[in-house]
Amino acid sequence: MKTTKSQGATSGASITVVHAYAAAIDIGAKFHVVAVGPERDPEPVRSFGSFTQELHQLAQWLRQIGITTIAMESTGVYWIPAFEVLEAYGFEVVLVNAREVRNVPGRKTDVSDAQWLQKLHAYGLLRASFRPRHDIATLRAYLRQRERLLEYAAAHIQHMQKALMQMNLQLHHVVQDVTGATGMKIIRSIVAGERNPEELARHRDVRCK
């Protein structure tokens, strides 16, 4: 018996455009490749450098052709300047995990990353990664920087204590905190060349017992 292929699986399937004014950016270290729909511009794929002036040129071009929403992959930290510039221009910027983009089937090898990203975004097939509000992101950056500085300070204190031990300067047995007022005055005096213990003891702060 001869069988025929089912025509309903493919012929009736259609995908509706969700974002008609969508663009996409393939983020790079030195330059970014930007793609828009072919109906938006005679040159729908363009490259822009990663310098701030060129990021503004990118944003101005997208605004000129009526783009409202932009998708970009979260590659390292290279996306952050472009994201902030485009967000400042009022675009809806969707940050996409590169792993999820690769998992979408049907990608063609002759289509650039930016064009493929733009097509997926236009059809609403991309899920935005979590990105906190600008004020929350700023606060998070401050907290992370504070945490790094505390870690660096702790490492430097350990280096100081190790150097003092190697020189047999048992300052940590005399002063509880070598980085306190008394400890730092004594260390600075030693670095300046003072070796008399009685002179070094004169640097004791009144609060130090």
pLDDT of residue 139: 92
Task: Provide the residue ranges of all domains of the chain, joining segments of one domain with +.
Answer: 22-131, 139-201
What is the rounded distance in angstroms from the CA atom of residue 176 to the CA atom of residue 204?
Answer: 12
- C-alpha distances out from residue 132 to 82, 121, 140, 143, 146, Å: 16, 21, 9, 14, 19
Among 113, 109, 96, smallest CA distance to 31 is for: 113
**Which SS3 state, helix, strand or coil, does residue 9 take?**
coil
Q: How far apart are CA 40 and CA 37, in angstroms?
A: 5
Cβ–Cβ under 8 Å, residues 72 and 39? no
Provide the pLDDT confidence category of residue 175 given band limits of 50, 70 and 90: confident
Proportion of the chain above pLDDT 90, given as a percent: 48
Angle between helices 79-88 and 52-64 (to 10 degrees): 50
Instruction: Say what percent of the chain tops pLDDT 70.
Output: 87
Per-residue pLDDT, 112:
77
Instruction: State the sign of the Cα–Cα–Cα–Cα dihedral 36, 40, 44, 46.
Output: negative
* Burial of 82 (C-beta count, 10 Å sphere; 0-12/13-18/19+): buried
pTM above 0.75, yes or no: no
- 128 or 191, greater pLDDT: 191
The DSSP code sequence of 65-108 is TT--EEEEE--TTTHHHHHHHHHHTT-EEEEE-HHHHHTSS---
DSSP assignment of 124-152 equals T---PPP---HHHHHHHHHHHHHHHHHHH
CATH number of 22-131: 3.30.420.10
